[in-house]
Chain A
Amino acid sequence: MITSLTRRSFLKGACASVSVAATYRMWTPGAAFADDSEHTLVVVFLRGALDGLSMVVPAGDNDYYRARPTLAIPANRVLDIDGTFGLHPAMASIHPLFADKRLAAVHAAGNLDDSRSHFEAQANMERGTEGANVSTGWLARHVFASNATAVPLHAIAWGSALPASLQGDSAALSLQALDSFGLAGRAALRDPTRDALASLYEGSTFETPAGAVLEALDLVENVAEHGPQPHADASYPDTHVGNALREIARTIKADVGLSTATVDVGGWDLHAGAGNTDTGAQRTLLADLADSMAAFATDLADRPGSYTLITMSEFGRRTEENGSNGTDHGWGNVMLAMGDNLSGTVVGDWRGLGGDALYRGDVPVTTDYRNVVGELLLGRVGAADLSPIFPGLTHEPVGVTT
């Protein structure tokens, strides 16, 4: 087990490294060296706690309108999903995906940590071990369990560092743009500089991660330069999440063995001035997320079954709004899943927003987020067994894939 987690070193043995590097240099579109049936898991983490009640709105529930006198989305403005729930109108771009069965939502989902602390809840959710403090994240354990680590671009995190969910995979790459992923300095000295760095880091405490990034250089540059471009109909917003999903789609289409990708999207902690239907920070965030997801779905429409995208957030927000046109920390929340052949519905154990149904004023967590992820991992992503990924979980499917 332990040895399987230790990445083969690029730096030990020049012969191996040369041949690997040569393989990646030879990469061309259509001459993929990874199986094009690879299924990529994309996790979009909405940091700061999304207000799920504004995203997938319980528009048939009078208690919602009582609790949210200024923030509620009017029933006649939501985009109906099933008569009970409707989507925020800023998310019109993904609304048709429900009918296409390419989108599903789970309400009242979340993690069992009810500390209402962003940092405790995020850490708990990213470790995936419910309270136990281990140093690896669930996505890293998924990567290991699927033996995806053999290629340099098997796991990427969009940003400057890895999220906790990927901690433990010391060869997972954080990056911010395919196009600028290369060594700086004088171009003529690039190759000798790369080789010198490989020597200097050999045998050091940082050998594995430094070796992994050096190994990935040629491949990423090659994909950036010659790889597939977005589909003409896929109009990604020029934003953090838009750019991230565009580049993840390019990497998926390059068939380089991308198993897992993550994107963090911040800004959801709207204690004040959240806005509602037509204005405010929340509307902007929701529109950006939806438009980016819609472009991603369009981009990959001709590669059915190539991906599963999940959105999650550390907890939801208080049912009652506060006095500054915002909401404080709550608990149960909405998760979205996007891909082919999903339920196209809102699932989960929804108990309404009446006083008895709430837990300390919040939507209770009635679905463990790991059961949502677990169902997708087993049913679509190709995981054989959840026990290494979510130890101790007694898996109960939620119905998101049916």
Chain B
Amino acid sequence: MGPFDSVLDAGRKTAESGVGGVRDGVGQLQREQRRLVDELRTLPNTDPLAGGIDDVLTEPDLTEIDRARLLVDKCTFGPTPGLVEEVAAAGPDDWLARQLEPSTIPDPQVDVLLLTFPSLQLDPALRRAYQIAPNEAAEDVQLATLVRAVRSQRQLQEVMVQLWSDHFNTYVHDGLVTVVKATADAEIRSLALGRFEDLLLAVTRSPAMLMYLDNHLSSVPDPNENLGRELLELHSVGVQAGYTEDDVLDAARAITGWTVNQVSMRFEFQAAWHYEGPLNVLGWSHPGASGPGAFQQGEELIRYLASHPATAERVCRKIARRFVSDSPSPELLAHLVAAYSANDTSIRAVLEALFGHAEFWASGNAKAKRPFETVAGALRALAPQFAPWGGHFSTPAASTIRLLRAMGHATFEWLAPDGYPDDGAYWTGAGTWLQRWNGLLALANNQVNGVTINANGIRNDVGGTTVEEFVAALGPHLTGAPIEPTDIATLVGLAGVAATDPPTLIPDANLRHILALVLALPVAQVR
């Protein structure tokens, strides 16, 4: 063990349609183009799942087990063996109510597993001062996310953390962002079900965001517009709110002087860098301020933006896209926006409104899984042994990151500030399937360092007197759903022995390929 002993002992701790007007002079041309383009709209939609839940007005008639399966699909990173039955037995509504109060759910497995991630235990100043290798700090926070997705009992919270991590994307390898990313991640986690207003403020003043979007350098007389623009465009109201370039400049001015102390690696306000004149952003105005209290100006703007109707719309659309489908209905959005506005930007209130809406309960399998969900889901289903994973023990860490990277979905590695797309068309192109299948084949074959799948243990747990019975039972065990008879026959064909043989005769390699292909079933790629 290295220098971390004492620390370890100490304990634990997506924009929709195009910008309308390209202004004067081209309006007529545009109208003509639009007409022609309307013809193009008749081309097939590239999202294979689009339009899956048309016109559902009433909640479908679901059994308790159906409701449990839907909740597990939507509000967790996938079923662990027996979870659907557990949720049904506990009562889906009660299970959901508990998930909405994550702080009341004990999470001892995660607490212990994360002890092997030394850099997560350190203050960011120490992370920097001790020059923790950048890869190590990045891998720790990347893998901790996967460990939580796989093992945390607070699944809904982790789903929301992922949503906010995309909404407020910061690229983990961007210079010193690496050493403060874990701090920002913890803050997002603590506010993931809280008020959006608090979340927006916390993220905007987080050193990770300030450095990623260059605001730590932004000062009068020539402010850096990067964060000011994305605060409006990506983090709050969105382009469709119709703000002007002057609004962007004033938003950037409002947060001039919001910087990062390069020793403590914490937020710091440099009053001398702050713009003192009056400000106007989308109906918010301020007469101007100077001195240490001028920090309030930016805070006031952020609180204003959080409550703006355009922000309500964007935030609710993102949540609906995550949980329902890529094209949630206007009725559902209005229902969620009302909850957001009536409850002081409460994210939890939006989720409660969502879970009370028929469209949610009718949205089973309407959403393509992203690769991270496929991998986390496979790890939940296969229940592997984890080697110590932290970056300090970095070989297993690097292997798992590489697996996700090959699938284009390594945590916190999206370069641009808009975050990974949450869009079926993006994740289901031809090339993505090979990456997905290969990820599952590599996991099942123990070809990912640090993850050991006990295939024989799964064979014993699942049981069955014949190969055919065993394969049929793998569906509910690994995916929470039965397998179609024709697919059972296909999978049995991979066993290398007769369908009527006992499952113990399936050679280990064949067994592992069968496990991978059950997890690769098309129905396991949607939720």
A5 to B430: give the CA distance in the assembly, Å: 15
Distance in angstroms from A291 CB to nearest chain B CB is 21
Is A135 touching B224 in the complex (CB atoms < 8 A)?
Answer: no
Residue B29 lies at the interface, judged by CB distance under 8 Å to chain A: yes
* Residue in contact with A204 in the complex, picked from B19, B20, B39, B522, CB distance below 8 Å: B522
In the complex, whether A263 has a CB less than 8 A from a CB of chain B is no
Instruction: Check if A242 is an interface residue, CB within 8 A of chain B.
Output: no
Could you tell me the distance between the alpha carbons of A393 and B37 in the complex, rounded to whole angstroms?
Answer: 11
Query: Whole-angstrom distance from the CB of A58 to the nearest CB of chain B?
Result: 22
Instruction: Please measure, in the bound complex, the distance between the C-alpha atom of A343 and the C-alpha atom of B17, giving whole angstroms.
Output: 37
Nearest chain A CB to B367 CB, angstrom units: 12
User: A305: CB under 8 A from chain B?
Assistant: no
A114 touching B442, Cβ below 8 Å: no
Is B293 an interface residue, CB under 8 A from the partner? no
Q: Does B209 contact A (CB under 8 A)?
A: no
* Residue B204 CB within 8 A of the other chain: no
CB distance from A315 to the nearest CB of B (A): 12
Is the pair B43, A115 in contact by a Cβ cutoff of 8 Å?
no
CB of A271 closer than 8 Å to a CB of B:
yes
A95, chain B: closest CB distance, angstroms: 29
Cross-chain contact B18 with A133 (CB below 8 angstroms): yes
From A166, A171, A197, contact of B437 by CB (8 A): A197
User: Within the assembled complex, what's the spacing in Å between the Cα atoms of A130 and B447?
Assistant: 47
Q: Are the C-beta atoms of B18 and A132 separated by less than 8 Å?
A: yes
Q: Which residue of B lies closest to A206 (CB)?
A: B522
Contacts of A378 in B (CB 8 A): none
CB distance from A116 to the nearest CB of B (A): 7
Which listed residue, B239, B430, B444, touches A173 by the CB 8 Å rule? Answer: B430
Given contacts A129-B33, A133-B18, A185-B513, whether A161 and B522 have CB atoms under 8 Å apart is: no
B-contacting 9-mer, from A24-32, A96-104, A323-331: A323-331
The distance in angstroms between the C-alpha atoms of A391 and B13, with both chains bound, is 57
Distance between Cα atoms of A297 and B338 in the complex (Å): 58
Measured CB to CB, the closest approach of chain B to A223, in angstroms, equals: 15
In the complex, which residues of chain A have a beta carbon less than 8 angstroms from the beta carbon of B226? Answer: 269, 271-272, 328
Tell whether, in the assembled complex, residue B433 and residue A206 are in contact, meaning their CB atoms are under 8 Å apart.
yes
Q: Nearest Cβ distance between residue B417 and chain A, in whole angstroms? A: 8
Contact (Cβ within 8 A) B37 A2: no
How many A residues face the partner with a CB closer than 8 A?
A: 85
Which residues on the A side are within 8 Å of B284 (C-beta)? none
Q: Is there a chain B Cβ closer than 8 Å to A157's Cβ? A: yes
Task: Answer yes or no: A63 CB below 8 A from chain B CBs.
Answer: no
Residues of A within 8 A of B434 (CB): 175, 181, 183, 213, 217
Q: Are B427 and A124 in contact (CB under 8 A)?
A: no
Q: Does B68 count as interface, using CB distance less than 8 angstroms? A: no
A186 lies within 8 A of B445 (CB): yes
For residue A263, give the distance in angstroms from its CB to the closest CB of chain B.
14
In the bound complex, how far is the Cα of B39 from the Cα of A129, in angstroms?
A: 12
- The answer on a CB contact under 8 Å between B490 and A196 is yes
B416 A266 Cβ-Cβ under 8 A: yes
Q: Mark A171-188, 1 if CB is under 8 A from B, else 0.
A: 111111000010111101
Contacts of A1 in B (CB 8 A): 43
Q: Does A160 contact B (CB under 8 A)?
A: yes
The answer to whether B517 touches A160, judged by C-beta atoms less than 8 angstroms apart, is no
The segment from B44-52, B352-360, B460-468 found at the interface with A is B44-52
Q: Does B517 contact A197, Cβ atoms closer than 8 Å?
A: yes
In the assembled complex, B362 has its CB within 8 A of some CB on chain A: no
Asked whether A68 is an interface residue with its Cβ less than 8 Å from the other chain, the reply is no
Residue interface mask B220-238, A partner, CB < 8 A = 1? 1111111001000110000
Residue contact A323 to B219, C-beta cutoff 8 Å: yes
Asked if A322 and B445 make an inter-chain contact with CB atoms under 8 angstroms apart, the answer reads: no
Take A160-B431, A323-B223 as given contacts and tell me if A176 and B406 are in contact as well, using a CB distance cutoff of 8 Å.
yes
B263 within 8 A of A: no
- Given A171-B430, A196-B490, A213-B430: A120 in contact with B416 (beta carbons within 8 A): no
Smallest beta-carbon distance B443→chain A, Å: 10
Interchain CB contact under 8 A, B45 and A135: yes
B441 smallest CB distance to A (angstroms): 4
Instruction: Say which residue of B20, B225, B425, B441 sits within 8 Å of A322 (CB atoms).
Output: B225
Contacts of A387 in B (CB 8 A): 36
B438 within 8 Å of A (CB atoms) = yes
Q: Hey, which chain B residues are within 8 Å of A217, CB to CB?
A: 434
Q: Are B428 and A209 in contact (CB under 8 A)?
A: yes
Q: What are the interface flags for A1-12 relative to B under an 8 Å C-beta threshold, 1 for contact and 0 otherwise?
A: 110011000000
Taking a contact as CB atoms under 8 Å apart, the answer to whether A136 and B46 are in contact is: yes
Contact status of A272 and B438, CB under 8 A, knowing A185-B513, A209-B430? no
Assuming A170-B430, A323-B223, is B522 touching A201 (CB within 8 A)?
A: yes
Q: Report if A231 contacts B (CB, 8 A).
A: no
Report whether B233 and A392 are in contact in the complex, using a CB–CB cutoff of 8 Å. Answer: no
Contact of B513 among A193, A271, A394 (CB under 8 A): A193
Q: With A183-B438, A201-B522, A392-B32 known to touch, is A272 a contact of B18 (CB < 8 Å)? A: no
The answer to whether A205 touches B17, judged by C-beta atoms less than 8 angstroms apart, is no
State which of B224, B426, B487 has its C-beta within 8 Å of the C-beta of A326.
Answer: B224
CA distance A350 to B1 in the complex (A): 64
Q: A134-B43, A167-B46, A213-B433 are in contact. Are A159 and B408 (CB under 8 A)?
A: yes
Query: Quick one: closest B residue to A387, CB to CB?
Result: B36
Q: How far is the CB of B516 from chain A (nearest CB, A)?
A: 7
Inter-subunit contact A116/B43 (CB<8 Å): no
Chain B residues with CB under 8 Å of A321's CB are 222
Which residues 23-77 of B sit at the A interface, judged by CB distance below 8 A? 23, 26, 29-30, 32-49
Q: Is B476 an interface residue (CB 8 A)?
A: no
Give A312-356 as 1s and 0s: 1 = Cβ < 8 Å from B's Cβ atoms. 000000001111101011000000000000000000000000000
**B521 within 8 Å of A (CB atoms):** yes
Q: What B residues does A394 contact at CB under 8 A? A: 29
Given A115-B239, A184-B445, A188-B509; A392-B430 close (CB under 8 Å): no
Distance, CA A216 to CA B429, complexed state (A): 13
Report B153-177 residues with CB < 8 Å from chain A CB.
none
User: Could you list some 11 contacts between A and B, CB below 8 A?
Assistant: A2-B42, A5-B44, A133-B16, A133-B18, A160-B406, A161-B408, A166-B429, A173-B431, A210-B433, A323-B220, A328-B226
Q: Which residues of A contact B (CB under 8 A)?
A: 1-2, 5-6, 47-48, 112-120, 123-124, 127, 129-136, 141, 157, 159-162, 166-168, 170-176, 181, 183-186, 188-189, 192-193, 196-197, 199-201, 204-206, 208-210, 212-213, 216-217, 266-267, 269, 271-272, 320-324, 326, 328-329, 360, 387, 391-394
Please name 11 further chain A to chain B contacts, defined as beta carbons within 8 Å, in addition to the given A131-B19, A161-B431, A205-B49, sorted by A numbering.
A123-B15, A131-B22, A131-B34, A134-B41, A135-B425, A160-B406, A166-B429, A174-B431, A175-B431, A185-B513, A272-B224
By Cβ-Cβ distance, the 3 closest A-B pairs, closest first, are: A160-B408, A174-B431, A392-B33
